[in-house]
Amino acid sequence: MVTEAGSATQHAGKKVVLLDCDPGIDDAMAIVDLLARRAFGEIDIAGLIATAGNASVDDCVSSALSWLELGERTDRDRECSRADQTPVFKGAAGPIEVAHDFTPETHGEHGRGYAPLARTEGTASSMHGARAWSELSIRHEGELHAVVIGPLSTLAAALDLDGGIPDRLASLTIMGGTFCGHPGNTTAVAEWNSHFDPEAAQRVCERFAGSAVVPRWCGQNVTDSAVISPADVTEVLSATRGAPVTRALAAALRFYFEFHDAVGEGYCAKVHDPIATALALQPALGRWSPARIDVATSDRLTRGQTVAEFQPERWRGGDYGSGRRNADILVEVPGHPGVDNILADWKARHVRWVRG
């Protein structure tokens, strides 16, 4: 049995969130933002699934537990007692078919940059993450808002176990892929999550074709504009008086700044994942276009490319599998600019949460 994250009564009026992540520095920003939203009564968190991607699955589990522990300490400091501990599930240890190297130069050896995360006393559930997808979608049928901000390996395995998952979710939001001719961050055409496990991504695309829930894809074409600077970090550190969770995020982000600077992006960081989690909870902030997505899995040069067809009359051709819509693709966050507004909200909510 999955440890309950709250009863139906507790969930009344709140969105119930399942996060599948591969922490990851910007994953950490997404995790702590969900904790802040929970503290303010906006959501309940059904669980976190840690999937290999930015680091090994064991490192991802350890980081997820540590960020949760820091967040729960913040809740205690705010006298916001949590009777319900957030369960963490260990997901896929790697891609479902073809092995992929990790890239410690991006997020650090263990996926947490310079963050001095203490060894946590928490432990992951004995239930595998793929089984947790099934169990939680049954327990919270029709109300579970699932968000995947890492590779789709665990979800693909879950769909093999339980083909009914797509029709039990309230929504599915995926941070992955790149669209509309925007270059990838791993190859010329592929974004990291889709390149790490393209077979899993394609399996998810196929299994959600024609389902009651149409996955929303937040691609790099939009999230690349989500840039956080050292000045942003200094501002939040000052406003929170150097709270432990904020200091840990700042240390992690310093590594991320150095990575981006080393690859010619400047001393700043692109933070994709908190954009996806925000849009999962407030999809009206974005402009979405219905599409058919397929993921390249064979050719060396295009492996991991997310190919989107926006013209419905072409979906039924022989090159598009079932010929059915399987995605709503984020094409814009309106505003001046809209993604910056989401990051400003992240900062303000973090400060309110930590300060109480």
pLDDT tens digits for range 282-331: 999 999 999 999 999 998 999 999 999 998 877 765 555 556 899 999 99
- 8-355 has which CATH code? 3.90.245.10
pLDDT tens digits for range 98-138: 999 999 999 999 999 999 998 887 899 999 999 999 999 99
Q: Decide if 135 contacts 5 (C-beta within 8 A).
A: no
| CA 85 vs CA 38, 44, 67, 69, 229: distances in Å | 12, 11, 13, 10, 33
Low-confidence residues in the chain, pLDDT < 70: 1-12, 76-84, 316-323, 336-337
Q: Which residue is associated with the tokens 């064979």?
A: 298
pLDDT for 5 equals 39
List, in sequence order, every beta strand (DSSP E) within the chain.
15-21, 43-50, 88-90, 144-148, 171-175, 216-218, 227-228, 269-270, 287-295, 306-309, 327-332
Q: Where are the domains of the chain?
A: 8-355
Q: Are strands 227-228 and 269-270 parallel, antiparallel or unpaired?
A: antiparallel
pLDDT for 83 equals 40
- Residue 91 has which token pair? 């997901």
Is the Cα dihedral 225, 36, 130, 106 positive or negative?
Answer: positive
137 vs 145: CA distance, rounded Å: 9
Environment class of 255 (CB within 10 Å of its CB; exposed 0-12, middle 13-18, buried 19+):
buried
User: What 8-state DSSP symbol labels residue 2?
Assistant: P
pLDDT for 319 equals 55
254 vs 232: CA distance, rounded Å: 12
| DSSP 3-state of 152 | coil
pLDDT for 75 equals 75
Q: Decide if 2 contacts 130 (C-beta within 8 A).
A: no
Torsion of CA 265, 251, 151, 285, to 10 degrees: -70
Q: For the chain, first and last CA: distance in Å?
A: 34
Environment class of 256 (CB within 10 Å of its CB; exposed 0-12, middle 13-18, buried 19+):
buried
